[in-house]
C-alpha cells in the first residue's frame, strides 16, 4: 500500500545489488511512495548485480562510485543534484564487505590489509559520504540519512568476524556526524539494526542459515524481512520522523531484548533428551 509519504523528495541509494538486497527493496518502496533517486554502487558490484533492471523499473539513473573514494563521492553528489534538480532529502547507506569473511580468515587470524579494506568500505565510506554531503551543503533541511547495521555491533556473534567491528564503528560515526549534521543543517542521521536477512551479502557469513532459524525462534514477531526494513526506512525518510536522530533503531522482531524464548528452550530441551 502506498501513502505518498515521499512525494517530491529526492535522494541517493547506495548498495542495490539484486532483488534480494535491502537497498533494492527500499528503492522499490521509495518509488511507490513518490520519491525520486539516483542509484549508486561500486563498478565491480554493478557488474555482479542487476542494477540496470532496478533503474529501468524506477525511472532512475545510475552513477557508479567507489564509496571509499572522495573524488567519486564528490562527483556522485554533484551529478545527483544535477539529475534530481536540487538538494538531497534522503540517503541510504547499504554497503558492507569483509575480505576476511569472504576468504575464510578467522577473527583471531586476520589479514590486516583486508581488515582495513573492509573497515573503509563498511564504515569509513559512511563518514566520507556524509562529509562530502556536509561540505557541499547538499542536504535539504529535515533531510534524513540512514545506514544499515547489525546487532553484532553490541553482542558477540563469532562468525560475523571483523564485520562486527565495522558495524560498531559505523554506528559511532552515525552518532558523531549526526550531531554536527543536526546542529548545523537540521539533518537527521540514524542506523537501522536489521534482523539477519538472506541477502547475497549476508549469505557469505558462515552458519548463516542456522542463525536465521535461531533468530526466528528467539523473536516474538519473527525476523524482519528485507521488505520490513524497506518500510521502516521509508518511515525514517518521511516527515513523520523529523525529530528522530542519533538513534540505532532495532528492526528485529524483538530479538534484541530477548534473553531466551520458549521455542528456543523447547528445541534445547528436546535435543538433550
Higher pLDDT, 117 or 206: 117
Q: Give the pLDDT confidence score for residue 268 in this predicted structure.
A: 82
Residues 6+ apart with CB under 8 A from 131: 177
pLDDT at 206 over 90: no
- Residue 70 — pLDDT band, cuts 50, 70, 90? very high
- Residue 220 — pLDDT band, cuts 50, 70, 90? very high
Q: How many degrees, rounded to 5, is the angle at CA 121 between CA 86 and CA 24?
A: 60
- The pLDDT mean for the chain works out to 95
Q: Give the pLDDT confidence score for residue 211 in this predicted structure.
A: 86
Question: N- to C-terminal Cα distance for the chain?
Answer: 47
Dump pLDDT digits (tens) for 99-119: 999 999 999 999 999 999 999
- Residue 162 — pLDDT band, cuts 50, 70, 90? very high
Backbone angles phi, psi at 90, to 5 degrees: -150, 150
Higher pLDDT, 208 or 160: 160
Please, what's the largest Cα pairwise distance for the chain? Answer: 66
- Residue 180 — pLDDT band, cuts 50, 70, 90? very high
Interatomic CA distance for residues 77 and 100, integer angstroms: 30
Q: Name the residues annotated as catalytic.
A: 150, 160
- Give binding residues for NAD(+) as ranges: 15, 21-22, 95, 167
Mean pLDDT of 138-161: 97
Dump pLDDT digits (tens) for 231-248: 999 999 999 999 999 999
- Residue 46 — pLDDT band, cuts 50, 70, 90? confident
pLDDT at 49 over 90: no
Q: Give the pLDDT confidence score for residue 32 in this predicted structure.
A: 98
- Residue 81 — pLDDT band, cuts 50, 70, 90? very high
pLDDT at 207 over 80: no
Q: What percent of the chain has pLDDT over 70?
A: 99
Please check whether residue 128 is in contact with residue 70, taking contact to mean a CB–CB distance below 8 angstroms: yes
- Residue 204 — pLDDT band, cuts 50, 70, 90? low
What's the whole-model pTM score? 0.97
Task: Identify the structural domains of the chain with CATH numbers, from first to last.
Answer: 10-272 (3.40.50.720)
Amino acid at each position: 500500500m502506498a501513502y505518498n509519504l515521499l512525494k517530491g523528495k529526492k535522494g541517493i541509494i547506495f548498495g542495490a545489488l539484486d532483488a534480494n538486497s535491502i537497498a533494492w527493496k527500499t528503492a522499490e518502496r521509495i518509488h511507490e511512495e513518490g520519491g525520486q533517486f539516483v542509484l549508486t554502487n561500486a563498478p565491480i558490484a554493478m557488474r555482479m548485480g542487476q542494477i540496470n533492471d532496478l533503474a529501468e523499473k524506477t525511472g532512475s539513473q545510475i552513477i557508479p562510485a567507489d564509496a571509499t573514494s572522495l573524488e567519486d563521492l564528490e562527483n556522485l553528489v554533484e551529478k545527483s543534484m544535477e539529475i534530481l534538480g536540487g538538494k538531497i532529502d534522503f540517503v541510504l547507506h547499504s554497503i558492507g564487505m569483509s575480505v576476511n569473511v569472504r576468504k575464510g580468515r578467522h577473527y583471531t587470524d586476520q589479514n590486516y590489509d583486508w581488515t582495513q579494506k573492509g573497515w573503509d568500505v563498511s564504515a569509513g565510506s559512511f563518514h566520507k559520504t556524509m562529509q562530502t554531503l556536509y561540505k557541499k551543503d547538499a542536504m535539504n533541511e529535515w533531510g534524513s540519512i540512514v545506514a544499515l547495521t547489525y546487532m553484532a555491533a553490541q553482542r558477540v556473534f563469532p562468525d560475523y568476524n571483523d564485520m562486527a567491528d565495522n558495524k560498531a564503528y559505523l554506528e559511532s560515526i552515525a552518532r558523531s556526524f549526526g550531531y554536527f549534521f543536526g546542529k548545523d543543517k537540521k539533518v537527521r542521521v540514524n542506523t537501522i539494526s536489521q534482523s539477519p536477512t538472506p541477502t547475497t551479502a549476508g549469505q557469505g557469513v558462515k552458519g548463516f542459515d542456522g542463525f536465521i532459524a535461531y533468530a526466528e525462534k528467539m523473536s516474538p514477531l519473527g525476523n524482519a524481512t528485507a521488505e520490513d526494513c524497506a518500510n521502516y526506512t521509508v518511515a525514517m525518510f518521511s516527515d513523520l520522523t523529523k525529530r528522530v536522530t542519533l538513534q540505532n533503531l532495532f528492526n528485529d522482531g524483538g530479538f534484541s531484548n530477548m534473553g531466551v524464548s520458549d521455542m528456543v528452550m523447547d528445541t534445547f530441551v528436546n535435543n538433550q533428551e
